[in-house]
Amino acid sequence: MDDVKAVVRPRSVQDVVALVRHARATRLPLYPVSTGMNWGYGGSNPVRPGCTVVDLSAMDRIRNAADITPRHPVALIEPGVTQAQLHRHLQAQAPTLAFNVTGSAASTSVLGNALDRGVGYAGPRVDDVFALEVVLGTGDVIRTGFRRLGETSPLAQSHPHGLGPIPDGLFFQGNFGIVTSACFRLMRKRPVEMALSIGLHDEARLGDLLDGLIDLKRDGLLSSVAHVGNAARARATLRAGLTQYLQQRCALAGAALEQGVDSALAVVAGSPWTGLVGLSGDRAQVRSALSEVRRRLRGMAQVRTFSHGFMTLASGVADRLRGLPWVRPYAAGLAAALPLQSLALGTPTDIAFDNLFWLYGQQGLPAADYERSRCGVLFISPALPMDGRFVQQFVSELQQIADRHGHTLFITLNVETAHSLVGVINLLFDRDDPSATRRAHDCAHALHIHVQACGLEVYRARTDQMQAVITRSPEHWSLMRRLKDAWDPDGVIAPGRYSAVEGGS
Ligand SMILES: Cc1cc2nc3c(=O)[nH]c(=O)nc-3n(C[C@H](O)[C@H](O)[C@H](O)COP(=O)(O)OP(=O)(O)OC[C@H]3O[C@@H](n4cnc5c(N)ncnc54)[C@H](O)[C@@H]3O)c2cc1C
């Protein structure tokens, strides 16, 4: 954070108001972050130099902690509330409730992620948040939805849209104010929750698989985002867990270990593309959804079911039989997949970071120390049309571009809702190596140019992509700028983040 002026840590809404007033008086801009772990999208680095970072992690109250029940599945949270903290609270106070967990670290902010339109296993978090409390760039505090009637109104934490225009959207991927709390929807756990793994047989049918999953989502049969990862992605996700199991439980080392990992990968991640989706409901609902998924994907993909109980049992049995060479790949695969399944079923973990650090020989580093790791990640996250054939062609073009730059793409295609499909593409590089860092940025830039050339755009931008995003549609962003002038007349909130800067593009 070389370009940062200072980092301040307010503890209350009044502190945030004072910071904004001071920023207006001095014309020194602020850059708000909740826990600042926006890794892969720019972390807590401001777009423009000279900002004071407003780190809201000390505002970490679940304000209605005592009132959360299955009849009132809403948490009123401040920006510093982390995934781990909310999970712990629900376990203790309302264990039949869960929430939309992301694959990022347990110590990331629930609200910060939502405000950058992050995505959890159940869908985009923007759909979970309503009734925001915001300190505008003027220093005024507004509350949206029916929270404007006062915190004691019986409607304050329900009826998300309130009455009249809905300003909420301005504060997601917007820089009109600093969000100091919001209502966050919780989910009631269902009697049966199951994960499906979907192994595509033939790479050439990726488009058909996507169309099939889109239809299943539209018909309301899938209860989670449908993630479809390429082989590089599936292998990177499982390799660390497989290696650790084979080292620790089977005492393999050297060439035998490598061979063991490869045979386990062939068993558990042998498909060119692997889908992961969740089904939940009562027993009859899940049974009927499962048979429909199987029917529609027959001949195209292998569908395997994993309930948590089954996986725990199977993993225990396979572990006891791991001495048998043919059982060993399954034992390792189950051991590696179990923590991932817990994550998909709503328990936040740091497993994604354990896997990442392992690739760079830095196992054991806590996820919160990501900035100190050698592991560079750049996300390229295009919004995609709901059209399997188009997406298949587009992905193969991206792969050709990456090949020319000597890069592997770790790709996930996510059917998020009945109306949105996105790609989350990771480029990994060694941050300690300046030439690898430059090559990765060049490749990311070339990919983004291609995204735009295809008439598409990213749905979530890295801070270093802002210039290219704004330049693409200057009229749109200058219109947004006119709105910003009303609520942040001195441009003190996050200049350049999802906005054109004053006097510039
Ligand atoms: C291995 C790995 C896995 C990941 N998995 C996922 C995933 O599954 N899903 C996902 O969405 N992301 C994922 N990420 C990206 C990222 O780590 C998460 O999105 C993370 O939650 C963002 O950090 P944060 O919660 O600390 O938010 P912050 O960094 O605090 O906030 C994000 C941005 O939102 C804005 N903002 C934050 N708080 C406020 C506020 N109070 N008022 C106004 N504006 C604000 C700022 O622009 C800020 O930069 C992953 C990253 C990695 C490296």
DSSP letter for each residue of 329-382: HHHHHHHHHHHHHHHHTT---SHHHHHHHHHTT-TT--GGGGGGSSEEEEEE-B
Encoding tokens for residue 80?
């510093």
Q: Return the ligand 1 atom nearest residue 353 CA.
A: 1
Query: Which residues fall within 8 angstroms of residue 154, CB to CB, at 6 or more apart?
Result: none
CATH code of residue 139: 3.30.465.10
Please report whether residue 327 resides in a domain. yes
Amino acid at 85: Q
Does residue 405 sit in the same domain as residue 368? no
Does residue 243 sit in the same domain as residue 263? yes
State which residues form the domain around 402: 375-459
Longest dimension (CA), the chain: 72
- Contact between residue 38 and residue 112 where contact means Cβ atoms under 8 Å apart: yes
Ligand 1 mean position to 366 CA, how many Å?
A: 17
Q: Which helix (H) or strand (E) holds 115?
A: helix 110-115
Ligand 1 mean position to 103 CA, how many Å?
A: 11
Encoding tokens for residue 497?
């983040």
d(CA 365, CA 183): 33
Ligand 1 mean position to 221 CA, how many Å?
A: 29
Q: What is the pLDDT of residue 505?
A: 42
Ligand 1 mean position to 461 CA, how many Å?
A: 11
d(CA 473, CA 376): 29
Instruction: Kindly report the pTM of this predicted structure.
Output: 0.95
Does residue 199 sit in the same domain as residue 144? no
Q: What is the pLDDT of residue 1?
A: 58
Does residue 27 sit in the same domain as residue 168? yes
Does residue 33 sit in the same domain as residue 89? yes
Instruction: List Cα–Cα distances, 450 to 25, 212, 390, 397, in angstroms.
Output: 43, 26, 14, 9
Residue ranges for the chain with pLDDT beneath 50: 505
Which residues lie across from 429 on neighbouring strands? 376
Does residue 209 sit in the same domain as residue 348? yes
Query: Which residues fall within 8 angstroms of residue 490, CB to CB, at 6 or more apart?
Result: 23, 24, 27, 137
Q: What is the pLDDT of residue 502?
A: 62
* Alpha-carbon dihedral sign for residues 350, 353, 359, 362: negative
Does residue 161 sit in the same domain as residue 288? no
Q: What is the dihedral of CA 16, 20, 25, 30, to 10 degrees?
A: 110
Which among 170, 187, 204 is the end of a domain? 187
Ligand 1 mean position to 326 CA, how many Å?
A: 42
* Alpha-carbon dihedral sign for residues 274, 412, 34, 172: negative
Encoding tokens for residue 291?
């048979």
Atom 11, ligand 1: which residue's CA is nearest? 118
Ligand 1 mean position to 295 CA, how many Å?
A: 38
d(CA 51, CA 31): 6
Q: Return the ligand 1 atom nearest residue 79 CA.
A: 41
What are the tens digits of pLDDT across the range 209-245? 999 999 999 999 999 999 999 999 999 989 989 999 9
Does residue 197 sit in the same domain as residue 345? yes
Amino acid at 71: R
Q: What is the pLDDT of residue 306?
A: 79
Does residue 273 sit in the same domain as residue 345? yes
Residues with CB under 6 A from ligand 1: 32-40, 44, 56, 79, 102-104, 108-109, 112-113, 115-116, 118-119, 178-179, 352-353, 356, 377, 494, 497
Please report whether residue 398 resides in a domain. yes
Please report whether residue 488 resides in a domain. no
Ligand 1 mean position to 35 CA, how many Å?
A: 8
Q: What is the pLDDT of residue 3?
A: 77
Which among 313, 342, 372 is the end of a domain? 372
Residue to mutate, 116, 412, 459, ligand 1, most ligand atoms under 8 Å from C-beta: 116
Would you give the distance in Å from CA 346 to the centre of its chain? 13
Q: What is the pLDDT of residue 503?
A: 54
Ligand 1 mean position to 36 CA, how many Å?
A: 7
Residue to mutate, 8, 17, 39, ligand 1, most ligand atoms under 8 Å from C-beta: 39
Considering its fold, how many domains does the chain have in total?
Answer: 3
What are the tens digits of pLDDT across the range 37-91? 999 999 999 999 999 999 999 999 999 999 999 999 999 999 999 999 999 999 9
Atom 14, ligand 1: which residue's CA is nearest? 104
Does residue 290 sit in the same domain as residue 210? yes
